Amino acid sequence: METIIKDYISQELVRDPELLPLADEASLLDSGILDSLSLLQLVVFLEERFAITVGDADLLPENFASVNTICAYLRAREPAKQAAHG
Amino acid sequence: MAYLLHRLLTDAAARQPRRPAIAASGCVLTYQELDQLSNKVARALLRLGVSPGDRVGVLAPKSAASVIGIYGALKAGACYVPLDPKAPDQRLSYVAADSGMTVIIADEARAPHAAALASRVRQARGVLVAGVPGSQDGAQAGPSTDQGAAVLPWSAVAAESAAPLPDHAIETDLAYILYTSGSTGMPKGVMISHRNSLSFVEWSAAAAGLSDRDRVCSPAPLHFDLSVFDLFASCQAAACLCVLPEGAATFPVSIARWLETERISVWYSVPSVLTLLACYGGLQQFDLAHVRTVIFAGEVFPPRYLAKLMTGLPHPRYLNWYGPTETNVCTAFEVPPGSAGAGPVPIGKACANTEVFGITGEGRQVSLPGEIGELYVRGPSLMRGYWGQPAKTREVLVASPFRAEYEEPVYRTGDLVTLDQAGNYLYLGRRDTMVKIRGYRVELGEVEAALYRHPAIREAAVVPVPDELLGNRLRAVVTADEPGSLGRQSVLDHCRQWLPSYMVPDLVEIRQALPRTSTGKVDRAGLASE
């Protein structure tokens, strides 16, 4: 799961090559990788790739701060899918 | 009445010394504090040798420090030139050199970057660090070195006198230069004088009904002309400029929560931010009763998202403002309650003290609904021209087609418009290859010019892909000098060195050849319709 998400962010969302390679714990917010529109791109990807729906109330900094927190959020939501995609 | 922008500040400080002028990241400055701190910056700039008419860069996000710096630059008689902290170095170097900056004002964090930039500009005398009371000095003070220009730390600036200064400018002098995308490959500087800006500021403060009770926010960065409203119209009314924290701007729910806790009353942004708020902001969870006016500008608001916003947040006034950077705002339309969603939102009618008219392809004035023409603007808000580009200026500031008796420049917007039944102008599109992305102007020619700087690219064409949320996405189609020598990642990495992120193509296709029209030109229409 970490690899899938990291690959997507690295290839599609990172605009500054100096931020690569991306660490699992690297902040996606302080570095400016996620802004209001790239966040939605990421959400659409996560919804399609992991067959989930991300509600408005879940679009919070604590869930999207890093690759690690995104994975923690996904695992907490969809424990059943963890094995399939993990 | 004020004829210099910074007089708005000294006047507000005299009327309302203890009202908050700016609230940013937990720092609140009163009008008196902002006035006095900017006096210190002005004195320090004069001591650094800044003369009236000099260009002073500002490398910082919107913050208490940068607003102090901007007013300080104006009080010193200089014109400020915002430098987008997120733009790549190549572009910042170009803007710094093209405008011939003599000093760059930076916040503490960006002082080393500013020093490196200044060291590459012939005229630059150094960097001034702007801060707020209590700021820690981290920047290395001292003379210039091989690594960068001289840096004047905030502690030295803060030691200057806070007493008022005499005026160093008149109203036709430049107040700021805003760089915008240029079709020939490099950004061009739109020169705005104090009078040009005040013409907009006075109108906009009245149109939005600003008062000293208002808390005003625009998330637009300093290099985007929407920021003129919250920087100066707030000051005209002694309202409080509230800066949206960068972290909050990413998450629609965080924006909505911040609007509630900060009790924002007037909001001004591009439509895409409002679309995100309407769709993902969870607006019904928050008490936004104090939001009384929502203003949008910079791009077309997709009607169904505007309708969604006006349903989710029905009580504020909704204002659509229109105007290229070269004219500030020149038309306005108040969206009647319950009307959104029926069709495109008009750009409305001319602002006070401004005239607009459409000219058809045959040279007649657009006077009937359905007639299509290019929009022209005249009035005191028109720019002085493009910095250092008189020929380019003459292409757009032209003689009025309806006034033979004396010369008065009118601005050709390049925007195609028509009239509706009520006499409001409706925006139809562009007559050239400029597109809007998240409200930013992007000349496709500038993106292509950046692609051509790639050593392995033989040919490049960039076409817009309409996108409801972004306005447009960019698709680049390129051919390589040698087959197989070019990769998509290399093209993207190259673009990111030259272009701000909103101008970097989202899609890159590498082909054997570009499609051609019968006359041998690149078939852009064909590419766009693929």
Using CB atoms, pick whichever of B86, B273, B496 lies closest to residue A32: B86
Mutation target for B interface from A7, A11, A15: give the one with most B CBs within 10 A. A15
Q: Are residues B422 and B442 in the same domain?
A: no
Q: Does residue B301 belong to any structural domain of this protein?
A: yes
Q: Does residue B188 belong to any structural domain of this protein?
A: no
Contact A60 B501 (CB under 8 A): no
Closest Cα of chain B to A82: distance in Å? 26
pLDDT per position as a tens digit, B77-92: 999 999 999 899 999 9
Domain A2-12+26-85 has CATH 1.10.1200.10: yes
Q: Provide the pLDDT confidence category of residue B147 given band limits of 50, 70 and 90.
A: low
Which neighbouring-strand residues pair with B215? Answer: B240
The pLDDT value recorded for residue A86 is 43
Percent of chain B predicted with pLDDT > 70:
97
Query: With 50 as the cut, is the pLDDT of residue B239 above it?
Result: yes
Q: Does residue B190 belong to any structural domain of this protein?
A: no
Distances (CA, A) of B228 to B112, B269, B340, B381: 27, 12, 27, 13
Average pLDDT over every residue of B2-15: 97
Distances (CA, A) of B417 to A54, B299, B375, B422: 40, 14, 6, 14
Contact B469 A40 (CB under 8 A): yes
Total number of domains in chain B: 3
The residue of chain A nearest to residue B280, with distances taken between CA atoms, is: A56
Residue type at B225 in one-letter notation = D
Using CB atoms, pick whichever of B253, B282, B501 lies closest to residue A15: B501
Q: Does residue B374 belong to any structural domain of this protein?
A: yes
Q: Where are the alpha helices (DSSP H) in B322-467?
A: 390-396, 444-452
Using CB atoms, pick whichever of A15, A16, A59 lies closest to residue B252: A59
Is B338 in CB contact (< 8 Å) with chain A?
no
Q: Are residues B314 and B451 in the same domain?
A: no
Partner A, chain B 478-497, Cβ-Cβ below 8 Å: 493, 496
Pairing, β B507-511 against β B471-480: parallel
Q: Which residues of A touch B503 (CB under 8 A)?
A: none
Q: Are residues B425 and B445 in the same domain?
A: no
Complex ipTM tops 0.85: no
Contact B276 A40 (CB under 8 A): yes
Percent of chain B predicted with pLDDT > 90:
79
Distances (CA, A) of B513 to A70, B138, B445, B453: 42, 54, 19, 18
Is B273 in CB contact (< 8 Å) with chain A?
yes
Is B280 in CB contact (< 8 Å) with chain A?
yes
Q: Tell me phi and psi for residue B435, to 5 degrees.
A: -130, 165
Among B315, B234, B306, B319, smallest CA distance to B275 is for: B306
Q: Are residues B55 and B108 in the same domain?
A: yes
Q: List the Cα angle A12/B488/B463 in 5-degree steps.
A: 85
The pLDDT value recorded for residue A14 is 81
Using CB atoms, pick whichever of A16, A32, A59 lies closest to residue B253: A59
Tokens (6 digits) for B516: 């051609």
Q: Which domain holds residue B336?
A: 200-430
Q: Does residue B470 belong to any structural domain of this protein?
A: yes
Which CATH number characterizes residue B473's domain?
A: 3.30.300.30
Q: Of B169, B187, B214, which marks where a domain is finished?
A: B169
Helix (H, G, I), strand (E, B) or coil at B375: strand
pLDDT per position as a tens digit, B326-378: 999 999 999 999 888 888 999 999 999 999 999 999 999 999 999 999 999 99
Contact A36 B252 (CB under 8 A): yes
Q: Are residues B426 and B442 in the same domain?
A: no
B518 or A72, which is more confident: A72
Residue with token string 């220009």: B149
Q: Does residue B10 belong to any structural domain of this protein?
A: no
Is B272 in CB contact (< 8 Å) with chain A?
yes
Residue partners of B146: CB distance under 8 A and separation at least 6: none
Integer Cα distance of B196 and B381 in angstroms: 4
Q: Are residues B396 and B505 in the same domain?
A: no
Q: Which residues of B touch A35 (CB under 8 A)?
A: 249-250
Q: Which residues of B touch A37 (CB under 8 A)?
A: 272, 276, 438, 469-470
Tokens (6 digits) for B164: 């008022």
Is A20 in CB contact (< 8 Å) with chain B?
no
